[in-house]
Amino acid sequence: MSTAAMNSNSSASGDAASNDMKTILGQYWWLIALRGVLGIAFGIIALVVPVATILALVILFSAYMLVDGVFALYAAYQAGRQRRRWGLLVFQGLANIAAGALAFLWPGLTVLAFVLLLAAWTIVSGCLQLAAAFRIDQGRWWFALGGAASLIFGVLLIAAPLIGAVVLTWWIGAWAIVFGAFLLVAAFRLRSQRNRHPSVGAAQPAT
């Protein structure tokens, strides 16, 4: 088969995949719009009641860890029945269940631990960025300013972890609103395109 024919087949398959994606997105534009509405609603809730939002996220994390731990223990049981190694799976399952239980029983402590972990990461990152700033010539001051900002942010998180958690929730809420708005715009553009070209939003028979 010649190179031109291969390129033609590749282009045709790429166009077919693109048309399939347009068809699916155009047909289910309302699901994208629903995701956008839910994102905006979550963002508004996070901005209005940040403390309740972060506690709800901790409870969600707790439920996930508990379920994941149970699945890991079940996988360990199945591995034992098949005479395979199961010790690591048991350890993972018990650790996840313990973490989920702690997060459920003491959600405030979980939030504090997360904020302090983030503070430690930003301080270490800031120190590394400051060290890199003295080893380069181009963009030195931008690196130094970024490192200093990370250090200040980390220290502020340690000094006032509750305020840091609230600010983090506000950032998450702002991101959710922006992301949801973009999804809404994209969904209604897909809807208008579907109305202009019904073949894009309708399922096409296979050939």
Identify the pLDDT of residue 97.
92
Distance, CA of 160 to CA of 167 (rounded, Å): 11
How many other CB atoms sit within 10 Å of the CB of residue 110?
Answer: 22
The count of domains in the chain is 1
Instruction: Judge contact between 80 and 86, C-beta under 8 A.
Output: yes
Q: Bin 145: left if φ > 0, else alpha if -120 < ψ < 50, else beta.
A: alpha
Residue 15 placed within a domain: no
Identify the pLDDT of residue 44.
94
Identify the pLDDT of residue 198.
58
Distance, CA of 50 to CA of 59 (rounded, Å): 14
Residue 91 placed within a domain: yes
Q: Bin 64: left if φ > 0, else alpha if -120 < ψ < 50, else beta.
A: alpha
Residue 12 placed within a domain: no
CA distances from 71 to 27, 63, 65 (A): 36, 12, 10
Phi, psi of 52 (to 5 degrees): -65, -35
**Residue 65: domain span:** 31-192
Identify the pLDDT of residue 139.
67
Helices (H), the chain: 3-27, 29-48, 50-81, 87-105, 107-133, 140-159, 161-196, 198-201
Residue 19 placed within a domain: no
Residue 11 placed within a domain: no
pTM listed for this prediction? 0.64
The segments of the chain whose pLDDT lies below 50 read 4-6, 200-207
Residue 59 placed within a domain: yes
